Amino acid sequence: MQEILLPIYPWLKAGHLIFVIFWMAGLFMLPRFFVYHQEDGAPGSEMDALWTSREQKLLKIILLPSIIVVWVLGLALMSAVQAHTQGWFHAKFLLVIILSGYHGWLAAYAKKLARGERPMQGKALRLANEVPGILAAIIVILVVVKPF
């Protein structure tokens, strides 16, 4: 497998980074949409339906394809350079799993909003919006610096 992946490694890496950017953009946008949805869209209103539509489009058109491509290319990159044998990769992998779980939590929260539920306050959603940025910063440091 390595002999197939190594020659195309730069292309795998470029694709991985492009889709990480798309994924992160969506992860930054969706909690913001939730804040606006809760503030502007009373359950059952026209604005509620509009925000629900926006959230579903972001999830289905940007976030879902991006997370799939990120995982597929990331696993290919890991295989190409045997990254799974290095300590920094284990930490990165754990953080990517957490970020993927966060993505799942966002998708579940979007469904709650679509049903008219408002389980969190806007302030808590604004704080939740910081999660992907913090995790992305740590992941970049792990990948670039490879501290262990």
Using CA atoms, how far apart are residues 52 and 43, in angstroms rounded to an integer? 10
Contact in structure between 50 and 108 (CB atoms under 8 Å): no
By C-alpha distance, which of 62, 46, 142 is closest to 96? 142
Is 57 annotated as ligand-binding? no
For residue 49, how far is the Cα from the chain centroid?
24
Using CA atoms, how far apart are residues 132 and 122, in angstroms rounded to an integer? 17
Q: Vertex 76, ends 74 and 79: CA angle to 5°? A: 110
By C-alpha distance, which of 35, 37, 60 is closest to 129? 35
Tokens for 35?
């804040």
Enumerate the known binding-site residues for heme.
16, 92
Enumerate the known binding-site residues.
16, 92
